[in-house]
Amino acid sequence: MKALFKTAGRAYKAHHALPPDAGTIADVNHDNVVKTISPDWVDGETKVMESPADHGQDLRLWLRLLTCSTLIESEIRRRLREQFDCTLPRFDLMAQLERAKAGMVLGELSKRMMVSPGNITALVERLVESGHVTRTVSAADRRVQIIALTSFGRAEFEKMATAHADWIAKLFDVITARDGKILFDRLGKLKRSVVTALARD
């Protein structure tokens, strides 16, 4: 595949730090940061706690959630880049295609990946260039493009998917099955809460 791009992953990243999940965002990566933290934080948190309806609890939960997913996501991006010279969006796109034997329409890819159509255009273009996918104009409807994995693309993806599953398993190593179940369950509730709130518009 020979270096399609110079960089692309985000090795750092983990925005959002509003009331900073007490000592936890910072202490995760830079030991020397912690000492500078305590006094400000108390203020920040106190302030938040005083707002109506206990927003503080929700905010802290949100920040911790974000910290977790960013931490994991960054690591996966880094490994995909270092070990496979691949980005997460490329991996995701191939993951979608893997289960669509007959290929998938560009718009469908966009919907499933929850990214804008214009984004997919360029992403697919690069994947075509590197020989991972093909793009065919549909005979039935000439507006439509069908994207499918090449056998090379499929082979590459299998390698990455195996490694990926392994990385996740190792990262989640210490979590007991029971806690995993609880998390999964409560995150489901959270998702429903968010979706419900979003629907109220």
Q: State the Cα–Cα distance between residues 197 and 201, nearest whole angstrom.
A: 8
Q: Under the criterion CB under 8 A, does residue 186 sit at the interface with a second copy? A: yes
Per the CB < 8 A criterion, the answer to whether 119 and 127 are in contact is no
DSSP letter (8 states) at residue 22 = G
Residue 29 or residue 136: which is nearer to a second copy going by CB?
A: 29
Helices (H), strands (E): how many in the chain? Answer: 8, 3
SS3 9: coil
Q: Which does 65 bind (CB under 5 to 8 A by kind): DNA, a second copy, none?
A: a second copy
Q: Under the criterion CB under 7 A, does residue 131 sit at the interface with DNA? A: no
Q: Under the criterion CB under 7 A, does residue 15 sit at the interface with DNA? A: yes
Q: Under the criterion CB under 7 A, does residue 78 sit at the interface with DNA? A: yes
Per the CB < 8 A criterion, the answer to whether 34 and 26 are in contact is yes
Angle of the 55-84 helix axis to the 88-98 helix axis, nearest 10: 80
DSSP letter for each residue of 21-76: GGGHHHHTT-GGGGGGTHHHHHHHHHHHHHSGGGHHHHHHHHHHHHHHHHHHHHHH
Q: Which does 145 bind (CB under 5 to 8 A by kind): a second copy, DNA, none?
A: DNA
Residue 2 or residue 53: which is nearer to a second copy going by CB?
A: 53
SS3 138: coil
Q: Which does 97 bind (CB under 5 to 8 A by kind): DNA, a second copy, none?
A: none
Q: Which does 30 bind (CB under 5 to 8 A by kind): DNA, a second copy, none?
A: a second copy
Q: Give the range of 8-16, 22-30, 94-102, 183-191 binding DNA by CB under 7 A.
A: 8-16
Q: Under the criterion CB under 8 A, does residue 163 sit at the interface with a second copy? A: no
The 10 Å Cβ neighbour count of residue 62 is 16
Q: Under the criterion CB under 8 A, does residue 169 sit at the interface with a second copy? A: yes
Residues 89-118 as x/- pattern, contact with a second copy by CB under 8 A? x--x--xx--xx-------x-xxxxxxx--
Q: Under the criterion CB under 7 A, does residue 124 sit at the interface with DNA? A: yes
Q: Which residues lie near DNA (CB under 7 A)?
A: 4-13, 15, 78, 81, 87-90, 105-108, 110, 114-124, 126, 141-145
